[in-house]
Amino acid sequence: MKIVEKVIHALRVEKSTTPKSKAKPDSARPESPSPSGDPWFDDPRNVAIVMDAIKKSKNDKGKEIVLKSKEDIKKYMANR
């Protein structure tokens, strides 16, 4: 969760301080939330996917789900 918060903060800072016509050099960019500097987190669509997954997982907390058959699993996965 902290990684996602860092990504969002970095994107907001960069978006609010960078004119659209000029990009910041790599050395001036906020630190990547990924320990390895993974550029995957540079794409706001990827961050949105992570945020959506976090929201869904919070909504599912506390719910017990019992999947007894392959069909149950297929139905469950289709509705996620």
Helices of type H across 1-80: 2-17, 44-60, 70-78
Q: What percentage of the chain has pLDDT greater than the value 90? A: 10
Give yes or no for residue 71 having a pLDDT over 90. Answer: yes
Q: Which residues of 26-45 are buried (b: 16+ CB within 10 A; e: fewer)?
A: eeeeeebbeeeeeeebbeee
**End-to-end Cα, the chain, rounded Å:** 20
Q: pTM for this one?
A: 0.38
Average pLDDT on 22-42 reads 67
> Residue 46: how many CB atoms within 10 A of its CB?
14
9 vs 39, residue with greater confidence: 39
